[in-house]
Amino acid sequence: MQLAKWAHHLAESLLADSLPRRWAHSQRVYSQALTLAPTFDKGDAELLAAAAIAHDIGYAEVAVDTGQHMIDGARYLRDVVGADPRLCSVVAFHTSSSWEASELGLEDALNEFGPAEPELVDAITYCDLTSNPVGDLVDPVERLAEVLERYGPEHVVFRAVSAARPELISRVARVRQRAEVAGAKVS
CATH of the domain at 175: 1.10.3210
Which residues form the domain of 135?
Answer: 2-182
The pLDDT tens digits of the residues spanning 123-157 come to 999 999 999 999 999 999 999 999 999 999 999 99
- pTM for the model stands at 0.97
Residue 155 lies in a domain: yes
90-105 pLDDT per residue, tens: 999 999 999 999 999 9
Task: Kindly list the distances between the CA atom of residue 30 and the CA atoms of 54, 101, 129, 139, 156, in Å, as whole numbers in the listed order.
Answer: 9, 24, 12, 16, 26
Q: Report the domain count for the chain.
A: 1
Does residue 187 sit within a domain?
Answer: no
The number of beta carbons lying within 10 Å of the beta carbon of residue 107 is 11
* Residues 146, 151: Cα–Cα separation, whole Å: 9
pLDDT score recorded for residue 184: 81
pLDDT greater than 70 at residue 1: no
What average pLDDT does the segment 18-28 reach? Answer: 98
